[in-house]
Structure 1
Amino acid sequence: MEIGFIENIDKKSKPNQNQLGFGQHFTDYMFEMDYIDGEGWVNPTIKPYAPISLDPSAMVFHYGQSVFEGLKAYRTKDDRVLLFRPEKNIERLNKSNARMCIPEIDKELILKAISELVKVDKDWIPNQKGTSLYIRPFVFATDYYVGVRQSHNYKFLIILSPVGAYYSEGFNPVKIFIEQQYVRAVKGGVGEAKTAGNYAASIKAQSEAKEKGFSQVLWLDGAEHKYIEEVGAMNIFIMIGEEILTPELTGSILDGVTRRSTIELLRASGYQVTERKITIDEIIEAQFNGRLKEVFGTGTAAVISPVGEMWFEGQKILINGGEVGNVSQKLYDQLTGIQTGDVEDEFGWTIDISK
């Protein structure tokens, strides 16, 4: 399917690369495509970034039938443009689509749309250390109807945003609050889908944690409130002794692309990595016995985020003296090095779209 193109004659001024923040600035173009009942996905177009018009009865406003993804494009020192494992994000997008009763989108078309859009907005890709171009594909229901059912029509868009560090702390260790009152997801729900409702469910706890001085919330399982699951914007890894643990995917945890990459990198480096259920009591005991070595989060936005403190029932769990651990630092250097072309990509994870 050919992608149409509409020229933008009113280009924006680009932001200062040292003051990008995250998700605050958007490029000159976006991609748009519609699903029309009886026709399928039609009219793929790269067009000027602009507001979209929807009827007040559009089903997405009332029933939340939507999904999204997040990945990045990186500029190398020799001015190439790399995508990091985009096929995994595309695979997960369609998995989320299936869970939310949204029609599947052709994988090759999604990759082509991402690649062509990034090429058009190539000048927006920052080149300062720690920066990148964030790519946000998303799909939502557009039927004009008030009544609970799946929509018959949808819109798929991709927007781009030049970004710096996700956390204001940068790569410094963050403080995490372990949530006990609120629940994000349960097995059998939509926790493993990247859908807007999951993140709406987390806002209350996240807001209260921010007021207390914490960067993120670590969720416990929704049934027993004793097994750790994931952080609001990250999967979580715990190093106890010489073993690195991460919660297994039970249906309520997002299958993170960076999580998967981290597991592969660690195992390739000789670390023992175990995916299983992990209780909060086990972490507290490990800290008490001096066996809790490191905790870090993984995600597209922050890549690797070392955790310096966790708080549970008013008790501070200090990790590695509040400093960045060796494993966290090594992983960050390896992953960001591969993503930016500074480290040899032995895994074949990156795609050069500048050719």
Structure 2
Amino acid sequence: MNTTIEIQINQTSDSKLSQTDFDNLQFGQTISDHMFVADFKDGEWGEFRIEPYAPLTLNPANSTLHYGQSVFEGMKAYKNKDGETLIFRPEENQKRLNDSAQRMCIPELPEEIFMSGLKKLLEVDNAWIPNKDGYSLYIRPFIFATDDFLGIRPSSNYKFIIFTCPVGHYYAKPVKVKVETKYSRAAEGGTGYAKAAGNYAGSLYPALLAQKEGYDQLLWTDAKSHQFIEESGTMNIMFIINDTLITAPLTTSTILAGITRESVLILAKEMGLNVEERFLRVAELEEALEKGSVVEAFGTGTAATIAHISLISVNGKDFTLPEKPSDSFSYNVLEELDAIKYGKKEDPYGWITKL
């Protein structure tokens, strides 16, 4: 891979690092000092630079503001005991960013630009990476259209930015979820598999209604029949029913190809767990909850990692899941993932990029 792009560096003279309380981080609220920026003009990416994190100036006619031509990613960096920086599966994020970009008519971002910009940014803001268990540096790469034009067509110009924020846990406790059978997140043939900004905007209102009822998240069902569980608003969803792990497959265009999801499935198979990638019927889930055969339910995602589910609401009835022992699968797989991410054990999968 060619990693020789020239990156101009303009470091801030007013770092916020000394003012940051790393013991009390709220997810996504503390932003590091710098960002990597690249512009797409005249058919190519260029003007690569690291500059102080700052507000952007946008024309009111900016096409992203009107038509939502924007895609993003989420990833994390960690520190091992020797103070080295470890990034978890960044190449997969780069590939998925381009999959999303293709669906949204955004030009491909070459791997060397993504990886070079990411590595240089983490070098400049290395002191922002927390150096203790349970904490990490969340990384947000995104691309958006920058044409100032109100006609409905793909933009000719784009901006790619990476910024970072030190974070603790996304969910501080197990979550309560509700199976959603009225509103829809994604339909076959749509953009559900892409990390497109509009997907999340459309999910906010139903999620807000659920939160007012006391639930933390929704379990989305298929848009056509609302008979099958798909995923949650912030993560892929997995169930262990009896002795089998069940999660939605990537056979439709409605499921995000979660990188944590794939990692968990690889580990589950190596741990000897039966794995079925299939759509779980809402009726089947309800019956299993009635019988008490749902051993575990949890979400997987970069922000949440493993989010344990304590309650599931189906058709207006709440089912409380049994408290999970510390040797349950979800705790074991979380421990295994963290051991690899923080460099506490060997990475036999090639998942870690070390700076």
TM-score (norm 2): 0.96
| CA distances 1:98-157 after superposition (whole Å, capped 9, x unpaired) | 000000011122011111101110001112321100000000001010011110100000
Q: Secondary structure at the match of 2:308?
A: strand
What's the offset of the Cα at 1:345? 1.2
Alignment of 1:229-308 (within 5 A): 229-249=230-250, 250-308=252-310
Q: Does the alignment pair 1:73 with 2:77?
A: yes
1:319 is displaced (CA, Å) by 1.9
Which whole-Å deviations, capped at 9, do the CAs of 1:167-222 have from their partners, x for residues lacking one? 132xxx21111112211111100000001000001100111122222111110111
The aligned residue for residue 125 of structure 1 is 129
2:206 counterpart residue number: 205
Query: 1: distance between equivalents of 2:298 and 2:141?
Result: 26
**Residue pair 1:67, 1:93 contacting (<8 A) in 2 also:** yes
Match of 2:35?
Answer: 30
Larger mean CA deviation between 182-191 and 311-320 belongs to 311-320
Greater mean alpha carbon deviation, residues 319-328 or residues 5-14: 319-328
Which consecutive aligned stretches of 4+ in structure 1 deviate over 6 angstroms post-superposition? Answer: 322-325
Match of 1:152 in 2: 156
1:335 is matched with: 337
Q: What residue identity is the alignment partner of 1:191? A: G
Give, in whole Å, the separation in 1 of the partners of 2:131 and 2:294: 37
In structure 1, what residue type is equivalent to 2:88? F
CA contact (8 A) 1:308 1:323 kept: no
- The offset of 1:7, in angstroms, is 2.1
- Which residue does 1:352 correspond to in 2? 354
The percentage of aligned residue pairs carrying the same residue is 44
The alpha carbon displacement at 1:322 in A equals 6.9
Unaligned runs of 5+ in 1: none
The alignment partner of 1:209 has SS state of helix
Q: Which residue identity lines up with residue 62 of structure 1 in the other structure?
A: H
* Counterpart position of 1:45: 49
CA distance in 2, matches of 1:32, 1:349: 26
Is the CA contact 1:309–1:322 (under 8 Å) kept in the aligned structure 2? no
1:61 alignment partner in structure 2: 65
Shift of 1:343: 2.5
TM-score by length of 1: 0.96
Equivalent position SS for 2:51: strand
Distance (Å, rounded) in 2 between the aligned partners of 1:84 and 1:236:
20
The amino acid that maps onto 2:74 is G
Q: Is the CA contact (8 Å cut-off) linking 1:140 and 1:155 kept in structure 2? A: yes
Aligned residue for 2:122, secondary structure, equals: helix
Figure out how many residues of one structure are paired with residues of the other and give that number. 349
SS in structure 2 opposite 1:197? helix
Residues 61-111 of structure 1 deviation map (CA, whole Å, 9 limit, x = unaligned): 000000000000001111111000000000000000000000001112201
User: How far apart, CA to CA, are the structure 2 residues paired with 1:321 and 1:259?
Assistant: 22
**Which residue, 97, 100, 105 being the options, matches 1:101?**
105
- Rounded to whole Å, the distance in 1 between the matches of 2:142 and 2:326 is 34
* 8 Å CA contact 2:298, 2:307 repeated in 1: yes
SS at structure 1 position matched to 2:105: coil
- Root-mean-square deviation over aligned CA pairs: 1.3
Q: Give 1:14 shift.
A: 4.2
- 1:136 aligned residue (135, 140, 149): 140
Q: Given that residues 14 and 124 in structure 1 are in contact (C-alpha distance below 8 angstroms), is that contact kept between their aligned partners in structure 2?
A: no
- The reply on whether 1:113 has 2:98 as its aligned counterpart is no
Q: Distance in 2 between matches of 1:312 and 1:177?
A: 6
Deviations for 1:263-303, whole angstroms, at most 9, x for unmatched residues?
00111111111111111111111122232111110000010
